[in-house]
Structure 1
Amino acid sequence: MGTDLSSSTFAVTGSMGKLATFALSFLFVLVLSSLIPSTEAYDSLDPNGNITIKWDIMQWTPDGYVAVVTIFNFQQYRHIQAPGWILGWTWAKKEVIWSMVGAQTTEQGDCSRFKGNTPHCCKKDPTVVDLLPGTPYNQQIANCCKGGVINSWVQDPANAASSFQVSVGAAGTTNKTVRVPKNFTLRAPGPGYTCGIAKIVKPTKFVTQDGRRTTQALMTWNVTCTYSQFLAQKTPTCCVSLSSFYNDTIVNCPTCTCGCQNNATQPGSCVEGDSPYLASVINGPGKNSFTPLVQCTSHMCPVRVHWHVKLNYKEYWRVKIAITNFNYRMNYTQWNLVIQHPNLDNLTQLFSFNYKSLTPYGGINDTAMLWGVKYYNDFLMEAGPYGNVQSELLFRKDPSTFTFEKGWAFPRRVYFNGDNCVMPPPDSYPWLPNAATRLTSTMMMALFAALAWLLIYV
């Protein structure tokens, strides 16, 4: 019996060991998979936002086709900013680009196998950029030549697309012989976008200018690209500070939010606003680069958003918002701000900003998009005395939810130009003056327990 018991115990222990090993292995794989960035990005405030690349074949040629490629920005508030989009792909066969209108490749590649007419690009993996404004008219098509800048469709729908025409050779000449390109990439202008595979869809239909006739593409395929702020940059680009009329405390952006001063790995990464050498630094060798040159601050962010609870009325309350640009190398044209707060459903009046309600959760009106008034404050200038814009919001109080307690009056999330800004920790928010004297439920329970102990044992 002893031997049998020992054997069975050993068997059970062995099984338990295998189970534990399996559990640890599963946990390891789960943790590892969570650390690997997903190719599918998801923005909870813009769950359906994406960049769609539509490739429409308009004409067959003796050795290929002519296509119009359009990049649509279906993101509600995220622009493609200067220096603009950079599009790439890999040809499925040995295709070449004979010519382009409205865009160009950055490299021609090796075209030595061609005699006579030389293609525009012979690379297996071409890289395409938009042409600049002012391009001669005969090199343009509709929606081209904006330096690769594409605005969001909510803020500026007329400029939410960019197009170019491409003549492709050494390709298929029918729907059955043409092959869709692979490995699409989109930089806008840096990393952040992940593109899926090209999918053949129903041919696009076009309406003539007089509206009396409809034509359609010979063949169409779409590519969808989604954005991830984690892939775009490892450090934040903006932060939020807070203040209120009922508390003298000003809660600044967390220290070193976007970097730290005197960083040994990045010396000279900021410049003092009152430095006598400020002009020479700004106009130095890097003046035409888009690398941020920020004013020295404790947070080192290019942009700070300040939310100030300004006034309290009987039926209303007022907030002042100020956006400050600390970047000496960036003018933010067509900037926007997205704010999440439960009282936005009762926003009554907005001063000097445009406003649109966003309902990312299907009917819950707690998210708003704000942007400047054209020709007035839609241009957020570089760091300096004019590098800020501000407005005020007037809210109607909802008796069932309104309170100044526990930081309720401050936003839940803030985005600037589509990037999530870092908020201060909730325990640092400006509280009501009598908040310090209040006892939380946990403290009350601890106090009652202590009193009970004293009554019983003392």
Structure 2
Amino acid sequence: MMSSLAAYDLLDPNGSINIIWDIMSWKPDGYLATVRISNLQMYRQIRSPGWTIGWTWANKEVIWSMVGAQAIDRGDCSNFKTNIPHSCETSPAIVDLLPGSVPQNQQLPNCCKGGVLGSWGQRDKAATVSWFQVSVGHSGTSRKTVKVPKGFYLLGPGAGYACSSAVVVPPSVFLSADGRRKTRAMTTWTVTCTYSPTLASKNPNCCVSLSSFYNPMITPCSTCACGCKDKHNCTKRDSEISTLLKPNLVMDGETQLLQCTQHMCPIQVHWHFKVNYKKHWRVKISITNFNYWLNYSHWNLVVQHPNLNNVTLVYNFTYKLLPYHSTSDTGVFYGVKEGNELLMEAENVQSEMIFGKDEKEFTLDQGWVFPRKVYFNGDECLMPPPNSYPFLPNSPNPIHPLLFAAALLLVLLAFCSFWCNSKIESQKTQKKGPSC
């Protein structure tokens, strides 16, 4: 129960990655199956170097062959003198093939993408699915004797997904190309994997800074917003980059080379309240990549704000409202810059939005014009503390909690000193020794 709660996503309650295992035919010592990996998450994608899935066989199964994917390790196949299996591992780990690694006429539909899966709400639906075929031996050869694998897991890339046990469901139904004939799988089981930020990382991967036209103060990302774990391995000058980015360097999607900043985040999102018109208001959004070792392809940005259901114009980004299954009137902003990358070397992309103004709810007080939450590629960004937001010129400057505590301490010390002096004077009058 606790794992399910940790993985629940309020913005995308039905989002998950489903693994569907269809046994299509029986073999003399096993079966032939197709495996589909479907990303049903609205705004979270699987980026390079792609997904890895794995499981533990129930008995002593082996993988005779695979199409569209491969096992990372063949394992110990010393018991086989001829006809060596593709993998003899009891807990195989499977990865997708790279694009162009297999001739087109030998590929399954939606295979060989390097494990990259698009998000359900962002790209074409074919980009959200990956297929491969596996021939399994030393297993059951009927519905009654075949055993379901255990311990399924998904890396996408890195940790972050918690997977359910495999559940046997009614067999999948397939239509022929002309749609006139149906075939059914011999048996089907499914696995559901849900994302948990706490499993993915102890620290955020992005942060938010704020500014407004009515105040020269810029609210920066919080210091060490992303943990500062790379503060001793960051780079300060662009001249250093050419020596660090080697032509043959293999990017694994997890290793980072960050530009040295006070927040030490790979991604910074800046929200600037630019203009306040009579019937509209205007915002500028900037996204900066501080990770020199990673390009973000087909990235997306999700923002929560009460007025986002009243957006009238968006420049440079694509915009739509995500389905929001809640009684709250908070709108959700979903922006995508299709076909472009948020590149390495601190590349910056920008957009401006114009909102219609509802006079009953629009206000400049209490930070209303700033977002409630911001997500980049499905990961929640750290917002600055509310007391640091840009304040109105005619409003009192909010006092930092530490300054407030210091002021309170000074008041208490002054009161204690006054009380003590009064006590001493009183005791002197009564010709008693001081007791304070």
Aligned with 1:165: secondary structure?
strand
Aligned pairs for 1:373-452 (under 5 A) are 373-374=338-339, 378-384=340-346, 387-436=347-396
Partner residue in 2 for 1:301:
265
Deviations 1:367-391 (A, max 9, x none): 12111033xxx3111124xx11111
Aligned 1:68-79 pairs, distance under 5 A: 68-79=34-45
Please give the alpha-carbon distance, in whole angstroms, between the structure 1 residues aligned to 2:56 and 2:373. 39
Q: Deviations over 1:215-244 (max 9, x none)?
A: 221111000011111111111100000001
Say yes or no: does 1:152 pair with 2:115. no
1:85 is aligned to 51
Mapped contact 1:338–1:368 kept (Cα < 8 A):
yes
The corresponding residue for 1:356 is 320
Q: 1:255 aligns with which of 223, 233, 242?
A: 223
Per-residue CA shift, 1:107-134, capped at 9, x if unaligned? 1111122232111011110010000000
- Cα distance in 1 for residues equivalent to 2:90 and 2:397: 70
- In structure 2, distance between residues paired with 1:402 and 1:71: 44
Amino acid at match of 1:393: M
Q: Specify which of 326, 332, 337 is matched with residue 372 of structure 1.
A: 337
Corresponding position: 1:58 with 2:24: yes
Please list, as runs of the form range in 1=range in 2, the aligned pairs for 1:46-445 lying within 5 A after superposition: 46-137=12-103, 138-156=105-123, 157-260=125-228, 268-274=232-238, 276-283=239-246, 288-290=251-253, 291-362=255-326, 364=329, 366-374=331-339, 378-384=340-346, 387-436=347-396
Give me the whole-angstrom Cα distance separating, in 2, the residues matched to 1:202 and 1:99. Answer: 26
Q: Is the 8 A contact 2:231 2:264 kept in 1?
A: no
For residue 434 of structure 2, what is the aligned residue in structure 1? none
TM-score w.r.t. length of structure 1 = 0.83
Could you tell me how far 1:38 is from its partner in structure 2?
Answer: 5.9
AA in 1 matched with 2:132: F
Is the contact between residue 359 and residue 365 of structure 1 (CA under 8 Å) also seen in structure 2? Answer: no
8 A Cα contact 1:294 1:302, kept in partner: yes
1: CA distance, partners of 2:358 / 2:33: 55
Q: Matched residues, percent identical?
A: 56
Unaligned regions of 5+ residues in structure 2, if any?
A: 399-436
Checking the alignment, whether the CA contact within 8 Å between 2:49 and 2:252 is kept in structure 1 is: no
Q: Does the 8 Å contact 1:50/1:73 carry over to 2?
A: yes
Q: Which amino acid aligns with 2:245?
A: I
1:105 to 1:437, Cα distance in 2 relative to 1, 3 A: closer
Residue 386 of structure 2 aligns with an amino acid whose one-letter code is P
Q: Deviations over 1:283-321 (max 9, x none)?
A: 388663431101011101000000000111110001010
CA distance in 2: counterparts of 1:408 and 1:397, whole angstroms: 13
Segments of structure 1 that go 5 or more residues without pairing to the other structure are 1-32, 439-458
What aligned pairs does 1:11-22 form with structure 2 within 5 A after superposition?
none
Q: Which residue of 2 aligns with 1:29?
A: none
1:226 aligned counterpart, secondary structure: strand
Which residue identity does 1:295 align to in structure 2?
Answer: Q
Corresponding residue SS for 1:231: helix
Q: Distance in 2 between matches of 1:210 and 1:365?
A: 45
Deviations 1:199-221 (A, max 9, x none): 01111111111122222211110
Structure 1 residue 81 displacement after superposition: 0.7
Decide which of 44, 55, 63 is 2:10's aligned counterpart: 44
Asked if the contact 1:39/1:194 (under 8 Å) is kept, the reply is no
Question: Residue deviations 1:242-261, cap 9 Å, x none?
Answer: 0011111110100111133x
Q: Distance in 2 between matches of 1:67 and 1:204?
A: 12
- CA distance in 1 between partners of 2:176 and 2:216 (Å): 63
Return the offset for 1:278: 2.6
The amino acid across from 1:215 in the alignment is T
Distance 1:328 1:40 in 2: 31
Cα deviation per residue 1:67-103 (whole Å; 9 max; x = unaligned)?
0001100100001111111110001111110000000
Question: In the superposition, relative to structure 1, how do residues 94 and 39 fare at CA in structure 2: closer, same or farther (>3 Å)?
Answer: farther
State the secondary structure of the residue aligned to 1:179: coil
Could you list the per-position Cα deviations for residues 317-342 of structure 1 after superposition, in whole angstroms to 9, with x for gaps in the alignment?
A: 01010100011001100100000000
Name the CA distance, whole Å, in 2 between partners of 1:59 and 1:362. Answer: 44
- Three-state SS of the structure 1 residue aligned to 2:89 is coil
